[in-house]
Structure 1
Amino acid sequence: MPLPDLRLPAVVLVALALAGCGSKGIKPSSAPLGIAPEYVARDNADTRRRVNYQDQVTLSAEAFRAGAIDVAEKRAKSALKLDASRPDAYILLAALANQRGADAEAGPLFQKAAELAPNSGEVLNNYGAWLCGHGRATEALPLFDRALAAPGYRTPAAALANAGGCALDAGQPERASRDLRKALALEPDNAYALESMARNEYAQNRYFEARAFAQRRLAAAPATRSVLQLASQIEAQLGDTVASGRYLQRIRDEFPQDAAPNPRS
């Protein structure tokens, strides 16, 4: 499944940098000559609301990181009540929906964030990842393209990896290979891109190439059941039944709750 553009565990990162909140209506008070004047800040209601919104978003993200999901959700909803025209609270609520196992609820929240921030690479990538993960690859691929074209997008490897994996799901192996290779040129240890490349090469019957990518994937990040099964299938196609069996044994040892019989070659 494509991965969201995350810096919080398993889900979404929101931009937490405080927006410029310069106080309005600052006036010097009367003071005797030779004494530095006192300045009194009188924030108007809009400035206070903006600051309060950012405070709630920041507190929500901190609670999310700490695993306090209920607190994070309460803070994010408070932020949304203060300002429903910004994407941060929607993305946090989508992340929290994923965390609660209510992934279907996350889609409309990601969509709303994308409508509010149509030029944010992170937001577009997140929504594209959700769409592709729900079988809507043809809708997702243009969002990844828009994310990559967005000015100032800081993590293009994430969108390229997601685009490549999504293209693979959509039956577009040439685009998949192109985008995944670009992602790996930027981020050689991108686990999702490596596994997707292994799958793409396997689907094209290029088993030695698939083996190389699977081995790189296993070296880059902790194993998952899916990548071990893929590695076993690759070795079976290459005629190395011993290596294939070792991967199956790892599935039984590391994922006993869902270990399966030998995969089909």
Structure 2
Amino acid sequence: MKAFWGMFARVGALVCLVVTLGMVSAPSVFAQGTASPADTLTGSSPKDALTRAKLHTELGSMYFQEGNFIVALEELTIAISINPNYAPAYSTRALVLHQIRELDSAGKDFRKALELDERDPEINNNYGWFLCETGHEKEALDYFQKAIRNPLYRTPEVAHLNAGACYAKIGDLDTAEDYIRRTLRFSPDNARALYQLAAITYKRGNYDAAREHLTKITRTREPNAETLWLLLRTERRLGDRIAENSLAAQLRRNYPDSPEYRELLKGNFE
């Protein structure tokens, strides 16, 4: 999956776009037949219900990050059954549903979350990214703005990056670059922002700048298939066949099943 580049800073640790985003499976924390911490809270007061809903939402978020989508959905559905007015449970479940391509249900959950808490910046950001990923880019931009304008938003760089990526999708490269550079002011080594900036400069034909941004990524982390593929095409444009061949070998060795490697085999360099 391509990452939603990004970034979700709600309860526990929601997944950060762009996007993108490989998850690994991990064993369940609780053995079958045992109770989770949330289930040990048996009080029936509204406060107790909210506490239990939060705990189940945190568990759902954790399982989501581990790639255990079935259990994540179970935990989040339990959270909603305990407290049907807890907006983060709907928003987090929407992220899981988006990941498994249940798009109608994901959209419904996002809208319910916003109905319950229309000002929540994380929910606005996440729904904006969902819209951008499903072909509603212009509609998505309003939600990113709502997130950015909220003074309580702890990670505005996430919405700036998502807005930049969305503007790039509709071809407004100047505005896209402006938003992405705002992200880099918050986080100078943000790999997704550097990749987006490289993609923009590549589209403009500024291959030296694209190489510079991509090389900065590779100096600090193992590049993913997307980064390798753009860097390979950049080196090809710059005429460095040695670098191009080296990157092709790296792409084949590390990501033989990736869409990028399939494009290389087809010779689809643009």
1: CA distance, partners of 2:174 / 2:226: 23
State the percentage of identical aligned residues.
Answer: 28
* 1:220-231 alignment, distance < 5 Å: 220-231=220-231
What is the one-letter code of the residue matched to 2:202?
Y
Correspondence for 1:5 among 4, 7, 11: 7
For 1:56, what is the secondary structure of its paired residue?
A: helix
Shift of 1:104: 5.5
2: CA distance, partners of 1:255 / 1:134: 26
Which residue is 1:187 aligned to? 187
For 1:106, what is the secondary structure of its paired residue?
A: helix
RMSD of the TM alignment (CA)?
A: 2.5
1: CA distance, partners of 2:59 / 2:98: 19
User: Larger helix proportion, structure 1 or 2?
Assistant: 2
2:54 matches 1:49:
no
Deviation digits for residues 69-102 of structure 1, max 9, x if unmatched? 4443222112212322221111221233245454
What is the one-letter code of the residue matched to 1:127?
Y
2: CA distance, partners of 1:66 / 1:193: 24
* 1:12-161 alignment, distance < 5 Å: 45-64=45-64, 68-100=68-100, 102=102, 105-161=105-161
For 1:188, what is the secondary structure of its paired residue?
A: coil
Normalised to the residue count of structure 1, the TM-score between the two structures is 0.78
Shift of 1:134: 1.6
Going from structure 1 to structure 2, the CA distance change for 1:193 and 1:10 (only over 3 Å counts) comes to closer
What is the one-letter code of the residue matched to 1:244?
E
Q: Are the equivalent residues in 2 in contact too, given 1:199–1:230 (CA < 8 A)?
A: yes
Moved more, 138-147 or 114-123: 114-123
2: CA distance, partners of 1:135 / 1:198: 23
2: CA distance, partners of 1:106 / 1:119: 19
2: CA distance, partners of 1:172 / 1:79: 40
Which residue is 2:168 aligned to? 168
Normalised to the residue count of structure 2, the TM-score between the two structures is 0.77
The structure, 1 or 2, with the larger RCO (C-alpha pairs under 8 Å, 6+ apart) is 1
Deviation digits for residues 137-164 of structure 1, max 9, x if unmatched? 1111121111110121011111111111
1: CA distance, partners of 2:253 / 2:104: 32
Moved more, 193-202 or 244-253: 244-253
List alignment gaps of at least 5 residues for structure 2: 20-42
2: CA distance, partners of 1:80 / 1:114: 15
Moved more, 164-173 or 217-226: 217-226
Going from structure 1 to structure 2, the CA distance change for 1:146 and 1:210 (only over 3 Å counts) comes to same
Deviation digits for residues 48-86 of structure 1, max 9, x if unmatched? 433333343344344445665444322211221232222
Shift of 1:191: 1.3
